[in-house]
Structure 1
Amino acid sequence: MGDPAVPALTVAAVARRLGVAPATLRTWDRRYQLGPSGHTAGAHRRYTPEDLDRLTLMRRLVLEGVAPADAARLAHEQARTAAEAADAEVEPPDPEPLLASVTTLTTGAQEAPEAGARPGPAGGGRVLALPHGSAASRGLARAAMSLDPHACSSIVQRALSEHGVIATWDELVVPVLRGVGERWAETGEGIEVEHLLSEVLLGALRLHVPEVASPVNGRPVLLACTEEDQHSLPLHALAAALAERRCSSRVLGARVPARALADAVRRTGPAVVFVWAQTAQTADPAMLRALPLQRPGALVVSGGPGWAGVRHEARVEHASSLGDAVRVVIGAVTAARG
């Protein structure tokens, strides 16, 4: 329930609080009866604290990929449960059981738009085209375009917990990052979305897998970007996926100079050196050739779309996906132990 001391709010004030367009609130009122229930002198309708509670839940569920009709039903059920608890003078129940079906709901079909309505996300804001995206990835896209880190983090952490790093990366994260990249290429807009989403993903990946206490690999795994590549997020995804399998790694990050990477190889004697290149312009085969030969030798693995079409020397293996990279690295460290 809301705080009775909070004054009733106008449509514009609630829209600002929730980060949606006033038109979205009017649509939710018309379709789902989630409108203002308060009245002031002159018959002006105002949103009460209880109305704001319902709309806040509605907004969060929609951002998580729940169909608007289902989100509205859950919001009404939560409000009724809270009201019944208040009438009985008992504490309202934990909302988690009510929200336990959210993950299932996000796999359902999205509601068709109202006839004559302009296409757009139910939560308001700009649209990110994901023609083949899942309901969960569309929810993450809406949250990212709304610059809502809390909703983004909630969606990603839930996916990591339920499905693991590889599935979350391939099925949830990559479609959204690709959509953001395509939008930037077409319009020059969206860099702030990519930056916010990257920060959220880094935090979620670090929370998901703690430091590996007893790693399966005796020799380290080094993860680095090429000298001109600044896309280090895939390195952190790989590190988290390896950590799920008790394989520790050392992320050297973006734009690692060739000399620095070679020095790191000499100092650590790694089992695997993974080098990421996002674009053909940043893929530098000479950087891989310059890595020192040692005994026991290190497997060099290239990853990222930048390496497509590049012919590598015999000691270099290319990983075409996150799952492929995990398979290659785990195979190499297992062989090294044997």
Structure 2
Amino acid sequence: MANDGLSAGAAARRLGVAVTTLRTWHQRYGLGPSRHEPGHHRRYTVDDMVRLQVMQRLTAQGVAPAEAAAWARRSPGTDPAPSDAPPSGPVAPADSPDPALRAAAAAARESILSLVESGAMIADVGLGDARAGGGQTIALGPRVDPAARGLARAAMRLDGPSMRYILESAVTHRGVISAWTNVMMPVLIGIGERYEATDRFIEVEHLLSRAITEALSIVPRPPRELTPRVLLAATDEEQHTLPLEALAAALAENGVPSRLLGARVPSRALMDAVDRTGPAVVVLWSQLPGSGDVTQLQHLLSRPHPPVVVAAAGPGWPLADLPPTVTPLNGLAEAVRVISTVKA
């Protein structure tokens, strides 16, 4: 960063927020620019940007703004930011035991300092229009998990690093089932509803889906010596696979290996895979009504050596038409419970 610091506009572009957001953080929480020369506008220094990064990262995780600002003002390696107004909200102790908040503060500082060292913050330029997507939100409901709110904000900003940070933290500290149910699903549903209402934001859904896939992939898989006896696949015309990815990760978390074939698996390919691997469990996923063709289930049941469990998962299946020996799965937790109890 140049010695003169960054203007409010450049700082906003760097963070991907609106200038009005910076003004609010300054006026309400004391997170304003500290460099001031007579006759010139105040400028944001490196330490100011560290505080703003901490504020942004914590609020993205759903931390209340006043609490996030208290952490930002006390972030490691920075001095309290000067302000024309007294800071509001509780002041978090510098030695607070909360590891997530301490990690976020440290990561924000490291991010800013790495940019400084690389020269990326020398020019008074930003990373795009700070107001892009301004005022655009995902409706999640009043009782949604704070981490889901943070994820929704990051998704609408197309902030991949923040999305991955929130998602990986949720998977690591809560487990796959809780992360999927309380953090990922509400945002996926919310962005889907926004798309249906506006025919927009498909880019948000794509980036969010990719971030979820990456977060689920961090779950350690069972030892390779364990032969997978669970086969997961989407139906012939089904392109959605995130629920199957979540199931594979949740099973792995419980020590159950699986094979995931992915999207749009033709019936013949599915039968070939069943004949070659002899799974004890086959789960077919159908998201949309048009993709839930029960003939694929019937073909599985008619094999010379059918799987012990043939399960239909997802809202696309016509439940009234399912063969009586097919097991419907309602939710990730139930799927993991049912599959984990099957004896090969």
- The verdict on a shared fold, with TM-score over 0.5 as the criterion, is yes
Q: In 1, are the aligned partners of 2:282 and 2:307 still within 8 Å (CA)?
A: no
Match of 1:130 among 127, 131, 140: 140
**What is aligned with 2:184?**
173
Match of 1:294 among 293, 298, 304: 304
| 1:96-175 paired onto structure 2 within 5 Å | 100=99, 102=101, 126-131=136-141, 132-175=143-186
The amino acid across from 1:315 in the alignment is: T
Q: Distance in 2 between matches of 1:238 and 1:200?
A: 16
**What is aligned with 2:264?**
255
Q: In 2, are the aligned partners of 1:20 and 1:125 still within 8 Å (CA)?
A: no
**What is aligned with 2:18?**
21
Q: 1:290 to 1:29 in 2, by over 3 A?
A: same
Could you list the runs of 5+ residues in structure 1 that have no partner in the other structure? Answer: 85-94, 104-122
- For residue 228 of structure 1, report the CA deviation from its aligned partner: 0.8
- For residue 212 of structure 1, report the CA deviation from its aligned partner: 3.3
Q: In 2, are the aligned partners of 1:223 and 1:235 still within 8 Å (CA)?
A: yes
What is the root-mean-square deviation in Å for CA atoms of aligned residues? 2.3
Q: In 2, are the aligned partners of 1:212 and 1:243 still within 8 Å (CA)?
A: no
Question: Secondary structure at the residue paired with 2:341?
Answer: helix
**What is aligned with 2:288?**
279
| 1:7-46 paired onto structure 2 within 5 Å | 7-40=4-37, 42-46=39-43
Question: Secondary structure at the residue paired with 2:316?
Answer: helix
Identity %, equivalent residues: 47
Could you list the runs of 5+ residues in structure 2 that have no partner in the other structure? Answer: 81-93, 103-132
- For residue 191 of structure 1, report the CA deviation from its aligned partner: 1.1
- For residue 219 of structure 1, report the CA deviation from its aligned partner: 5.6
Question: Secondary structure at the residue paired with 1:275?
Answer: strand
The amino acid across from 1:175 in the alignment is: P
Q: In 1, are the aligned partners of 2:239 and 2:264 still within 8 Å (CA)?
A: yes
Q: In 2, are the aligned partners of 1:219 and 1:269 still within 8 Å (CA)?
A: no
The amino acid across from 2:175 in the alignment is: G
| 1:87-102 paired onto structure 2 within 5 Å | 100=99, 102=101
Q: Distance in 2 between matches of 1:328 and 1:98?
A: 38
Q: What is the number of equivalent residue pairs in this alignment?
A: 300
Match of 1:73 among 45, 70, 74: 70
**What is aligned with 2:250?**
241
Match of 1:309 among 307, 313, 319: 319
Q: Distance in 1 between matches of 2:45 and 2:150?
A: 27
- For residue 165 of structure 1, report the CA deviation from its aligned partner: 0.6
Q: Distance in 2 between matches of 1:96 and 1:146?
A: 31
Q: Distance in 2 between matches of 1:212 and 1:302?
A: 27
The amino acid across from 2:44 in the alignment is: Y
CA deviation string 1:228-264 (max 9, x = no partner): 1100111111011111111110100001111111111
**What is aligned with 1:198?**
209
Q: Distance in 2 between matches of 1:257 and 1:295?
A: 20
Question: Secondary structure at the residue paired with 2:239?
Answer: coil
Q: In 2, are the aligned partners of 1:224 and 1:256 still within 8 Å (CA)?
A: yes
Q: 1:247 to 1:54 in 2, by over 3 A?
A: same
**What is aligned with 1:116?**
none
- For residue 6 of structure 1, report the CA deviation from its aligned partner: 4.9
- For residue 214 of structure 1, report the CA deviation from its aligned partner: 4.8
With a CA cutoff of 8 Å and minimum separation of 6, indicate the structure with the bigger relative contact order. 2
Question: Could you tell me the TM-score, scaled by structure 2's length?
Answer: 0.81
Q: In 2, are the aligned partners of 1:130 and 1:175 still within 8 Å (CA)?
A: yes
- For residue 44 of structure 1, report the CA deviation from its aligned partner: 1.6
The amino acid across from 2:42 in the alignment is: R
Q: Distance in 1 between matches of 2:95 and 2:238?
A: 42
Query: Are residues 1:82 and 2:93 paired?
Result: no
- For residue 100 of structure 1, report the CA deviation from its aligned partner: 2.3
**What is aligned with 2:330?**
320
Q: Distance in 1 between matches of 2:218 and 2:169?
A: 12
Query: Are residues 1:53 and 2:50 paired?
Result: yes
